[in-house]
Structure 1
Amino acid sequence: MNYFNFSKLVMTLSVRRFLECRTATTKTIITAEGKDVVKRKSYENRITLISPDNSVSITDMKNAQSISIRRDLKLVKIQDVDSKTRRPVFKLMTNAEYHAEELSKRKEKQTARLNNTNKGEKLITLSSRIGEHDLMTGVRKMMKLVEKQYEVKVVIAGEDAAATDKSEKIYHVIETQVKNACKIVQKRMKGNSLRFQLLPLRESSSQGNNTSDSNQNDKDKGPL
Protein backbone atom coordinates (compact mmCIF):
# COMPACT_ATOMS: atom_id res chain seq x y z
CA MET A 1 0.00 0.00 0.00
CA ASN A 2 2.80 2.38 0.86
CA TYR A 3 4.62 1.49 -2.33
CA PHE A 4 1.48 2.22 -4.34
CA ASN A 5 1.07 5.63 -2.74
CA PHE A 6 4.72 6.44 -3.36
CA SER A 7 4.44 5.48 -7.04
CA LYS A 8 1.32 7.61 -7.40
CA LEU A 9 3.09 10.58 -5.84
CA VAL A 10 6.07 10.22 -8.19
CA MET A 11 3.77 10.03 -11.21
CA THR A 12 1.84 13.11 -10.09
CA LEU A 13 5.04 15.13 -9.69
CA SER A 14 6.32 13.98 -13.09
CA VAL A 15 3.08 15.01 -14.80
CA ARG A 16 3.14 18.41 -13.09
CA ARG A 17 6.74 19.03 -14.15
CA PHE A 18 5.91 18.03 -17.72
CA LEU A 19 2.98 20.43 -17.82
CA GLU A 20 5.12 23.27 -16.44
CA CYS A 21 7.79 22.66 -19.05
CA ARG A 22 5.17 22.52 -21.78
CA THR A 23 3.62 25.75 -20.60
CA ALA A 24 6.98 27.48 -20.60
CA THR A 25 7.75 26.13 -24.05
CA THR A 26 4.37 27.24 -25.32
CA LYS A 27 4.94 30.73 -23.97
CA THR A 28 8.31 30.87 -25.67
CA ILE A 29 6.77 29.79 -28.97
CA ILE A 30 3.98 32.35 -28.67
CA THR A 31 6.42 35.18 -28.07
CA ALA A 32 8.76 34.05 -30.82
CA GLU A 33 6.46 33.28 -33.74
CA GLY A 34 8.27 35.71 -36.00
CA LYS A 35 6.23 38.73 -35.09
CA ASP A 36 8.10 41.98 -35.65
CA VAL A 37 8.82 43.77 -32.42
CA VAL A 38 8.62 47.54 -32.82
CA LYS A 39 11.93 49.01 -31.77
CA ARG A 40 11.63 52.08 -29.67
CA LYS A 41 13.94 54.91 -30.44
CA SER A 42 16.35 55.91 -27.72
CA TYR A 43 16.10 59.53 -26.71
CA GLU A 44 18.92 59.47 -24.18
CA ASN A 45 21.21 61.63 -26.32
CA ARG A 46 18.57 64.05 -27.59
CA ILE A 47 19.44 67.70 -27.12
CA THR A 48 17.97 71.10 -27.84
CA LEU A 49 20.17 72.87 -30.38
CA ILE A 50 20.16 76.64 -30.94
CA SER A 51 21.61 77.80 -34.25
CA PRO A 52 23.50 81.09 -34.77
CA ASP A 53 20.28 82.62 -36.13
CA ASN A 54 18.54 81.59 -32.84
CA SER A 55 16.40 78.92 -34.53
CA VAL A 56 15.74 75.94 -32.24
CA SER A 57 15.82 72.27 -33.24
CA ILE A 58 15.86 68.91 -31.49
CA THR A 59 18.61 66.51 -32.50
CA ASP A 60 21.20 64.18 -31.01
CA MET A 61 24.72 64.94 -29.88
CA LYS A 62 26.40 63.12 -32.77
CA ASN A 63 24.49 65.10 -35.38
CA ALA A 64 25.12 68.38 -33.54
CA GLN A 65 28.85 67.67 -33.48
CA SER A 66 28.81 66.89 -37.20
CA ILE A 67 27.04 70.19 -37.92
CA SER A 68 29.54 72.15 -35.83
CA ILE A 69 32.49 70.58 -37.68
CA ARG A 70 30.90 71.01 -41.10
CA ARG A 71 30.02 74.67 -40.49
CA ASP A 72 33.19 75.44 -38.50
CA LEU A 73 31.24 76.49 -35.40
CA LYS A 74 31.68 75.95 -31.67
CA LEU A 75 29.21 73.61 -29.94
CA VAL A 76 28.72 75.11 -26.48
CA LYS A 77 26.52 73.84 -23.66
CA ILE A 78 24.56 76.74 -22.20
CA GLN A 79 22.24 74.77 -19.90
CA ASP A 80 22.65 71.35 -18.30
CA VAL A 81 18.97 70.39 -18.24
CA ASP A 82 15.99 72.41 -19.41
CA SER A 83 13.28 72.40 -16.73
CA LYS A 84 10.50 71.82 -19.28
CA THR A 85 12.00 69.49 -21.89
CA ARG A 86 14.45 67.68 -19.59
CA ARG A 87 17.05 67.98 -22.32
CA PRO A 88 20.44 69.72 -22.26
CA VAL A 89 20.63 72.89 -24.31
CA PHE A 90 23.52 73.56 -26.71
CA LYS A 91 24.25 76.48 -28.98
CA LEU A 92 26.29 76.77 -32.16
CA MET A 93 28.55 79.82 -31.97
CA THR A 94 31.09 81.50 -34.17
CA ASN A 95 34.60 81.97 -32.78
CA ALA A 96 33.87 85.63 -32.03
CA GLU A 97 30.66 84.78 -30.17
CA TYR A 98 32.42 82.03 -28.24
CA HIS A 99 35.25 84.29 -27.06
CA ALA A 100 32.77 87.02 -26.12
CA GLU A 101 30.80 84.48 -24.08
CA GLU A 102 33.94 83.27 -22.31
CA LEU A 103 34.97 86.85 -21.51
CA SER A 104 31.53 87.56 -20.08
CA LYS A 105 31.71 84.46 -17.85
CA ARG A 106 35.14 85.48 -16.56
CA LYS A 107 33.88 88.94 -15.68
CA GLU A 108 30.91 87.45 -13.83
CA LYS A 109 33.19 85.15 -11.82
CA GLN A 110 35.55 88.03 -11.04
CA THR A 111 32.65 90.20 -9.87
CA ALA A 112 31.36 87.37 -7.69
CA ARG A 113 34.79 86.97 -6.09
CA LEU A 114 35.09 90.69 -5.42
CA ASN A 115 31.66 90.76 -3.81
CA ASN A 116 32.50 87.85 -1.52
CA THR A 117 36.11 88.51 -0.60
CA ASN A 118 35.74 89.11 3.13
CA LYS A 119 36.37 85.77 4.82
CA GLY A 120 35.89 87.05 8.35
CA GLU A 121 37.52 89.13 11.05
CA LYS A 122 40.79 88.78 12.96
CA LEU A 123 41.91 90.72 16.04
CA ILE A 124 45.52 91.71 16.71
CA THR A 125 46.44 93.44 19.97
CA LEU A 126 49.74 95.27 20.40
CA SER A 127 51.25 96.98 23.41
CA SER A 128 52.34 100.61 23.20
CA ARG A 129 55.65 99.39 24.67
CA ILE A 130 56.26 96.89 21.87
CA GLY A 131 59.78 96.66 20.44
CA GLU A 132 60.65 97.31 16.80
CA HIS A 133 61.30 93.65 15.96
CA ASP A 134 58.01 92.47 17.47
CA LEU A 135 56.18 95.33 15.78
CA MET A 136 57.45 94.33 12.33
CA THR A 137 56.49 90.72 13.06
CA GLY A 138 52.98 91.93 13.87
CA VAL A 139 52.87 93.98 10.66
CA ARG A 140 53.82 90.94 8.57
CA LYS A 141 51.05 88.98 10.26
CA MET A 142 48.56 91.74 9.39
CA MET A 143 49.71 91.69 5.77
CA LYS A 144 49.24 87.93 5.48
CA LEU A 145 45.72 88.12 6.90
CA VAL A 146 44.80 90.96 4.56
CA GLU A 147 46.15 89.02 1.57
CA LYS A 148 43.90 86.14 2.60
CA GLN A 149 40.96 88.58 2.48
CA TYR A 150 40.42 88.89 6.23
CA GLU A 151 39.32 92.12 7.90
CA VAL A 152 41.92 92.84 10.59
CA LYS A 153 41.01 94.78 13.72
CA VAL A 154 44.04 96.26 15.47
CA VAL A 155 44.23 97.47 19.07
CA ILE A 156 47.30 99.32 20.35
CA ALA A 157 46.86 99.12 24.11
CA GLY A 158 48.40 101.88 26.24
CA GLU A 159 49.01 101.55 29.96
CA ASP A 160 48.15 105.18 30.72
CA ALA A 161 47.23 108.46 29.07
CA ALA A 162 50.92 109.22 28.45
CA ALA A 163 51.10 106.29 26.02
CA THR A 164 49.08 108.15 23.37
CA ASP A 165 52.19 109.49 21.61
CA LYS A 166 53.76 106.02 21.51
CA SER A 167 50.54 104.55 20.11
CA GLU A 168 50.48 107.22 17.37
CA LYS A 169 54.07 106.41 16.38
CA ILE A 170 53.23 102.71 16.17
CA TYR A 171 50.17 103.52 14.08
CA HIS A 172 52.23 105.57 11.60
CA VAL A 173 54.72 102.69 11.23
CA ILE A 174 51.87 100.28 10.48
CA GLU A 175 50.24 102.76 8.11
CA THR A 176 53.47 103.19 6.13
CA GLN A 177 53.94 99.43 5.79
CA VAL A 178 50.40 98.41 4.79
CA LYS A 179 48.98 101.43 2.93
CA ASN A 180 49.58 99.88 -0.51
CA ALA A 181 47.95 96.57 0.41
CA CYS A 182 44.81 97.55 2.29
CA LYS A 183 42.58 100.37 3.45
CA ILE A 184 42.72 101.74 7.00
CA VAL A 185 39.38 102.81 8.48
CA GLN A 186 37.77 103.81 11.78
CA LYS A 187 40.89 105.06 13.52
CA ARG A 188 39.94 106.25 17.01
CA MET A 189 41.04 106.46 20.64
CA LYS A 190 39.00 104.53 23.19
CA GLY A 191 40.30 104.98 26.69
CA ASN A 192 44.05 104.46 26.54
CA SER A 193 43.84 102.29 23.41
CA LEU A 194 44.20 103.29 19.77
CA ARG A 195 41.96 101.22 17.49
CA PHE A 196 41.57 100.89 13.73
CA GLN A 197 40.70 98.35 11.04
CA LEU A 198 42.47 97.07 7.94
CA LEU A 199 40.21 96.20 5.00
CA PRO A 200 41.30 94.18 1.93
CA LEU A 201 41.22 96.08 -1.35
CA ARG A 202 38.34 95.01 -3.59
CA GLU A 203 39.19 96.53 -6.96
CA SER A 204 42.84 97.41 -7.49
CA SER A 205 46.00 97.93 -5.53
CA SER A 206 45.92 101.64 -6.38
CA GLN A 207 43.18 102.06 -3.83
CA GLY A 208 45.72 101.21 -1.15
CA ASN A 209 46.91 104.80 -1.25
CA ASN A 210 43.53 105.99 0.01
CA THR A 211 44.13 105.50 3.73
CA SER A 212 41.69 107.03 6.11
CA ASP A 213 42.44 110.06 8.22
CA SER A 214 41.82 110.29 11.92
CA ASN A 215 38.11 110.65 12.63
CA GLN A 216 37.24 111.91 16.07
CA ASN A 217 33.52 111.41 15.42
CA ASP A 218 34.00 107.63 15.44
CA LYS A 219 34.55 107.49 19.19
CA ASP A 220 30.96 106.38 19.79
CA LYS A 221 31.15 103.40 17.42
CA GLY A 222 32.04 101.03 20.22
CA PRO A 223 34.89 98.56 20.66
CA LEU A 224 36.41 96.48 17.87
Structure 2
Amino acid sequence: VMARANLIISGGTGTGKTTLLNVASSFIPPTERIVTIEDAAELQLHQEHVCRMEARPPDLNGENRVAIHDLVINALRMRPDRIVVGECRAGEALDMLQAMNTGHDGSLTTLHANTTRDALSRLETMVLMAGIDLPMRAIRQQVASAIDLVVQLSRMRDGQRKVTSITEITGMEGDTITMQEIFLYESHGADKDGTMTGVFRPTGIRPHIMDRLFAAGVPIPPELARVFPDRRANERGH
Protein backbone atom coordinates (compact mmCIF):
# COMPACT_ATOMS: atom_id res chain seq x y z
CA VAL A 1 0.00 0.00 0.00
CA MET A 2 2.76 2.44 0.98
CA ALA A 3 4.56 1.74 -2.31
CA ARG A 4 1.34 2.56 -4.21
CA ALA A 5 0.68 -0.93 -5.54
CA ASN A 6 -2.77 -1.57 -6.98
CA LEU A 7 -4.38 -4.32 -4.92
CA ILE A 8 -7.25 -6.72 -5.53
CA ILE A 9 -8.50 -8.57 -2.44
CA SER A 10 -10.27 -11.73 -3.57
CA GLY A 11 -12.24 -14.36 -1.68
CA GLY A 12 -15.57 -16.05 -1.14
CA THR A 13 -18.44 -14.88 1.05
CA GLY A 14 -17.44 -14.32 4.67
CA THR A 15 -13.69 -14.65 4.14
CA GLY A 16 -12.89 -11.20 5.56
CA LYS A 17 -12.37 -9.17 2.38
CA THR A 18 -13.79 -5.93 3.78
CA THR A 19 -11.90 -6.37 7.06
CA LEU A 20 -8.61 -6.76 5.19
CA LEU A 21 -9.47 -3.84 2.90
CA ASN A 22 -10.00 -1.72 6.01
CA VAL A 23 -6.63 -2.73 7.44
CA ALA A 24 -4.80 -2.24 4.14
CA SER A 25 -6.40 1.18 3.65
CA SER A 26 -5.17 2.29 7.07
CA PHE A 27 -1.62 2.27 5.66
CA ILE A 28 -2.43 5.00 3.12
CA PRO A 29 -0.45 8.11 4.17
CA PRO A 30 -2.57 10.76 5.94
CA THR A 31 -1.58 13.47 3.43
CA GLU A 32 -3.26 11.73 0.48
CA ARG A 33 -6.77 12.43 -0.78
CA ILE A 34 -8.81 9.22 -0.70
CA VAL A 35 -12.24 8.57 -2.19
CA THR A 36 -14.07 5.51 -0.87
CA ILE A 37 -17.00 4.05 -2.82
CA GLU A 38 -19.31 1.44 -1.30
CA ASP A 39 -22.77 -0.09 -1.56
CA ALA A 40 -23.16 0.29 2.21
CA ALA A 41 -20.67 2.25 4.30
CA GLU A 42 -18.44 -0.28 6.09
CA LEU A 43 -14.94 1.12 5.68
CA GLN A 44 -13.60 3.08 8.63
CA LEU A 45 -10.69 5.20 7.41
CA HIS A 46 -9.27 7.73 9.85
CA GLN A 47 -7.08 9.75 7.48
CA GLU A 48 -7.76 13.47 7.27
CA HIS A 49 -8.62 13.72 3.56
CA VAL A 50 -11.28 11.05 3.02
CA CYS A 51 -14.36 11.55 0.85
CA ARG A 52 -16.97 8.83 1.36
CA MET A 53 -19.43 7.99 -1.41
CA GLU A 54 -22.27 5.51 -1.09
CA ALA A 55 -24.45 3.92 -3.75
CA ARG A 56 -28.21 4.38 -3.60
CA PRO A 57 -30.92 1.97 -4.80
CA PRO A 58 -33.78 3.25 -6.96
CA ASP A 59 -36.80 4.80 -5.23
CA LEU A 60 -40.33 3.41 -5.37
CA ASN A 61 -40.72 4.78 -8.90
CA GLY A 62 -37.56 3.04 -10.05
CA GLU A 63 -35.71 6.34 -10.38
CA ASN A 64 -32.83 8.25 -8.78
CA ARG A 65 -30.59 5.22 -8.56
CA VAL A 66 -26.90 5.94 -7.98
CA ALA A 67 -24.73 2.99 -9.00
CA ILE A 68 -21.13 2.21 -8.08
CA HIS A 69 -20.27 2.80 -11.75
CA ASP A 70 -21.58 6.39 -11.54
CA LEU A 71 -19.66 7.04 -8.34
CA VAL A 72 -16.36 5.81 -9.80
CA ILE A 73 -16.75 8.20 -12.73
CA ASN A 74 -17.59 11.08 -10.36
CA ALA A 75 -14.67 10.16 -8.11
CA LEU A 76 -12.22 10.61 -10.99
CA ARG A 77 -13.34 14.25 -11.29
CA MET A 78 -12.43 14.87 -7.65
CA ARG A 79 -8.70 14.46 -8.27
CA PRO A 80 -8.14 11.74 -5.66
CA ASP A 81 -4.71 10.27 -4.97
CA ARG A 82 -6.35 6.89 -4.46
CA ILE A 83 -9.73 5.28 -4.97
CA VAL A 84 -10.96 2.52 -2.66
CA VAL A 85 -13.99 0.59 -3.96
CA GLY A 86 -15.64 -1.65 -1.38
CA GLU A 87 -16.48 -4.31 -3.96
CA CYS A 88 -16.42 -4.52 -7.75
CA ARG A 89 -19.44 -6.42 -9.05
CA ALA A 90 -20.15 -5.22 -12.57
CA GLY A 91 -19.16 -2.68 -15.23
CA GLU A 92 -17.49 -0.34 -12.72
CA ALA A 93 -14.50 -2.71 -12.97
CA LEU A 94 -13.56 -1.08 -16.31
CA ASP A 95 -13.59 2.41 -14.78
CA MET A 96 -11.55 1.13 -11.84
CA LEU A 97 -8.93 -0.42 -14.13
CA GLN A 98 -8.70 2.76 -16.18
CA ALA A 99 -8.26 4.80 -12.99
CA MET A 100 -5.45 2.49 -11.86
CA ASN A 101 -3.80 2.89 -15.26
CA THR A 102 -4.06 6.68 -15.36
CA GLY A 103 -2.36 8.06 -12.29
CA HIS A 104 -4.47 6.70 -9.44
CA ASP A 105 -1.98 4.00 -8.52
CA GLY A 106 -2.27 2.62 -5.03
CA SER A 107 -6.01 2.02 -5.40
CA LEU A 108 -7.74 -0.97 -3.82
CA THR A 109 -10.88 -3.04 -4.26
CA THR A 110 -12.34 -6.46 -3.49
CA LEU A 111 -14.22 -9.04 -5.53
CA HIS A 112 -15.78 -12.47 -5.11
CA ALA A 113 -13.59 -15.32 -6.44
CA ASN A 114 -12.22 -18.57 -5.04
CA THR A 115 -8.78 -18.48 -6.68
CA THR A 116 -6.45 -15.86 -8.12
CA ARG A 117 -7.02 -17.06 -11.67
CA ASP A 118 -10.77 -16.97 -11.06
CA ALA A 119 -10.39 -13.38 -9.82
CA LEU A 120 -8.79 -12.33 -13.11
CA SER A 121 -11.48 -14.15 -15.11
CA ARG A 122 -14.17 -12.45 -13.05
CA LEU A 123 -12.57 -9.06 -13.69
CA GLU A 124 -12.69 -9.76 -17.43
CA THR A 125 -16.38 -10.69 -17.18
CA MET A 126 -17.18 -7.54 -15.20
CA VAL A 127 -15.42 -5.36 -17.78
CA LEU A 128 -17.62 -6.91 -20.48
CA MET A 129 -20.65 -5.98 -18.36
CA ALA A 130 -19.77 -2.31 -18.96
CA GLY A 131 -21.31 -2.75 -22.41
CA ILE A 132 -18.28 -1.48 -24.31
CA ASP A 133 -17.19 -3.70 -27.18
CA LEU A 134 -13.56 -4.42 -26.33
CA PRO A 135 -11.57 -7.38 -27.66
CA MET A 136 -10.59 -9.85 -24.94
CA ARG A 137 -6.89 -9.23 -25.52
CA ALA A 138 -7.38 -5.49 -24.86
CA ILE A 139 -9.27 -6.26 -21.64
CA ARG A 140 -6.49 -8.57 -20.46
CA GLN A 141 -3.88 -5.93 -21.26
CA GLN A 142 -5.83 -3.46 -19.10
CA VAL A 143 -5.96 -5.98 -16.24
CA ALA A 144 -2.28 -6.93 -16.54
CA SER A 145 -1.07 -3.33 -16.58
CA ALA A 146 -3.43 -2.10 -13.82
CA ILE A 147 -3.18 -4.81 -11.15
CA ASP A 148 0.02 -5.36 -9.19
CA LEU A 149 -1.04 -7.86 -6.53
CA VAL A 150 -3.97 -10.19 -5.85
CA VAL A 151 -4.46 -11.20 -2.21
CA GLN A 152 -6.53 -14.39 -1.94
CA LEU A 153 -8.56 -15.14 1.20
CA SER A 154 -10.20 -18.39 2.28
CA ARG A 155 -12.34 -19.56 5.17
CA MET A 156 -10.98 -22.71 6.80
CA ARG A 157 -13.15 -25.64 7.89
CA ASP A 158 -12.91 -24.51 11.52
CA GLY A 159 -14.08 -20.99 10.66
CA GLN A 160 -10.68 -19.32 10.63
CA ARG A 161 -10.12 -16.77 7.87
CA LYS A 162 -6.71 -16.89 6.25
CA VAL A 163 -4.73 -15.14 3.56
CA THR A 164 -3.93 -18.20 1.45
CA SER A 165 -1.99 -16.59 -1.38
CA ILE A 166 -0.38 -13.33 -2.51
CA THR A 167 0.22 -13.30 -6.25
CA GLU A 168 1.99 -10.72 -8.40
CA ILE A 169 0.68 -9.95 -11.88
CA THR A 170 3.72 -9.82 -14.16
CA GLY A 171 2.29 -8.96 -17.58
CA MET A 172 1.11 -10.74 -20.72
CA GLU A 173 2.41 -13.71 -22.64
CA GLY A 174 0.50 -14.08 -25.88
CA ASP A 175 -3.15 -13.73 -24.90
CA THR A 176 -2.64 -14.91 -21.32
CA ILE A 177 -2.11 -12.82 -18.19
CA THR A 178 1.05 -14.03 -16.46
CA MET A 179 1.49 -14.10 -12.71
CA GLN A 180 3.72 -15.52 -10.02
CA GLU A 181 2.75 -16.62 -6.52
CA ILE A 182 5.08 -14.97 -4.01
CA PHE A 183 3.50 -16.08 -0.72
CA LEU A 184 1.26 -19.03 0.05
CA TYR A 185 -0.44 -20.64 3.03
CA GLU A 186 0.77 -24.19 3.55
CA SER A 187 -1.88 -26.14 5.43
CA HIS A 188 -0.74 -28.75 7.95
CA GLY A 189 -4.23 -30.11 8.54
CA ALA A 190 -6.20 -30.13 11.79
CA ASP A 191 -4.74 -30.68 15.25
CA LYS A 192 -6.35 -32.87 17.93
CA ASP A 193 -8.82 -30.08 18.78
CA GLY A 194 -9.92 -29.75 15.17
CA THR A 195 -8.15 -26.41 14.71
CA MET A 196 -6.65 -25.99 11.27
CA THR A 197 -2.91 -25.32 11.40
CA GLY A 198 -0.41 -24.17 8.82
CA VAL A 199 2.24 -21.62 7.94
CA PHE A 200 2.29 -18.64 5.60
CA ARG A 201 5.59 -18.66 3.73
CA PRO A 202 7.37 -17.10 0.75
CA THR A 203 7.61 -19.27 -2.36
CA GLY A 204 11.19 -18.11 -3.00
CA ILE A 205 10.27 -16.15 -6.13
CA ARG A 206 11.45 -12.56 -5.86
CA PRO A 207 8.56 -10.21 -6.70
CA HIS A 208 9.25 -7.28 -9.02
CA ILE A 209 7.43 -5.03 -6.56
CA MET A 210 10.19 -5.47 -3.96
CA ASP A 211 12.29 -2.90 -5.84
CA ARG A 212 9.40 -0.43 -5.51
CA LEU A 213 9.16 -1.12 -1.78
CA PHE A 214 12.86 -0.44 -1.25
CA ALA A 215 12.77 2.66 -3.49
CA ALA A 216 9.78 4.04 -1.56
CA GLY A 217 11.58 3.55 1.74
CA VAL A 218 8.93 1.18 3.06
CA PRO A 219 10.13 -0.53 6.28
CA ILE A 220 10.82 -4.18 5.43
CA PRO A 221 10.69 -6.79 8.23
CA PRO A 222 14.18 -8.32 8.72
CA GLU A 223 12.98 -11.85 7.95
CA LEU A 224 11.55 -10.63 4.63
CA ALA A 225 14.64 -8.59 3.79
CA ARG A 226 16.74 -11.74 4.19
CA VAL A 227 14.61 -13.59 1.64
CA PHE A 228 14.38 -10.63 -0.76
CA PRO A 229 17.49 -8.44 -0.21
CA ASP A 230 17.77 -4.92 -1.61
CA ARG A 231 19.52 -5.22 -4.99
CA ARG A 232 20.60 -1.61 -4.81
CA ALA A 233 22.95 -2.47 -1.93
CA ASN A 234 24.76 -4.94 -4.19
CA GLU A 235 24.95 -2.37 -6.99
CA ARG A 236 26.41 0.22 -4.61
CA GLY A 237 28.92 -2.38 -3.43
CA HIS A 238 30.22 -2.73 -6.97
Does the pair score TM above 0.5? no
Q: Which has the higher strand share?
A: 2
Tell me the TM-score normalized by structure 2. 0.24
Q: Which has the larger radius of gyration?
A: 1
Larger relative contact order, structure 1 or 2 (CA cutoff 8 Å, min sep 6): 2
Q: How high is the TM-score relative to the length of structure 1?
A: 0.25
